[in-house]
Amino acid sequence: MAWITCDFYSETLQLSTSMEVFLPQGSLMPLRSSSKLPVLYLLHGRGADHTEWMRRSSIERYAESKGLALVMPGFGRSYYMDMANGLPYFTYLSEELPKLVRTFFPVSGRREDTFVAGISMGGYGAFKLALSYPERYAAGASLSGGLDLASRAAGAGFQESEIRTIFGRVENVRGSRDDLLFLAAEFAAYTGNKPMLYQCCGTEDFLYKDNQTFRRYADSLGIHITYEEEPGGHEWGYWDNKIQRVLDWLPLP
């Protein structure tokens, strides 16, 4: 695969930012009817950056034979939100970034070729995208995601300064478009084609309870999720193994 570090200017964020991109080489790609590549957006965890996936996992090796472009953007500690007292990161993620990626690289804009996955904070971001825009994504995967954000914000999950910066007030989260439980109810009522959803979490992970809460609520709404759990913590040994499962699960043509 070709590895590209792409530095560019975001009009939405009004700043320069970066993403890592892996593109498959032609000799290793499966034959496809389209010249455009399917694309997987890989979202990093809290406190990390756009280099996390390539530094901590063997994602390049796992994806090499899939004919799949990988896009790994940077989002700091934003929790993939339009922050109350910060930058509009979710607007950037959902609107500007995909357009830039399609401008810079030979990736498909078709829903059936577009996927998103993430770990921890990025698992939240991946499900937020898939639930918010089911018409744009064919699959979304959360690996140990922070899926019950309202409870975490009200508990010990965030520093007071982060709450003010990201949410404004804790009370602003529950029932908002940043609350995955709220989005899940909208998603359940959506009558168009829904993206496939994959969720996993280790049973020793501090976010295991959050994952159980989201899973039970989604199940009560009739939302189908491919769910897996096994012993494991909040660490890269677990995620490096599970991302291989995600790549095999993706509905690639």
Tokens of 3: 């590895």
Using CB atoms within 10 A of its CB, is residue 24 exposed (0-12), middle (13-18) or buried (19+)?
A: buried
Q: What is the residue type of 193?
A: N
Q: Quick one: how far is CA 148 from the chain centroid?
A: 15
Q: What is the distance between the alpha carbons of residues 50 and 235, in angstroms, rounded to a whole number?
A: 17
pLDDT tens by residue, the chain, 253 residues: 999 999 999 999 999 999 999 999 875 555 555 689 999 999 999 999 999 999 999 999 999 999 999 999 999 999 999 999 999 999 999 999 999 999 999 999 999 999 999 999 999 999 999 999 999 999 999 999 999 999 999 988 898 999 999 999 999 999 999 999 999 999 999 999 999 999 999 999 999 999 999 999 999 999 999 999 999 999 999 999 999 999 999 999 7
- The highest-level CATH class for domain 2-249 is alpha beta
Long-range contacts of 230-234 (CB under 8 A, 24+ apart): 230/202, 230/203, 231/202, 231/203, 231/204, 232/201, 232/202, 232/203, 232/204, 232/205, 233/202, 233/204, 233/205, 234/120, 234/144, 234/202, 234/205, 234/206, 234/207
Instruction: Write down the domain spans for the chain.
Output: 2-249
Choose among 143, 138, 127: nearest CA to 53: 143
Residue 66, token pair as written in the block: 């899939």
> How much of the chain is in helix, strand and coil states, percent to nearest 5?
40, 20, 40
Whole-model pTM?
0.96
DSSP state for residue 196 in the 8-state scheme: E
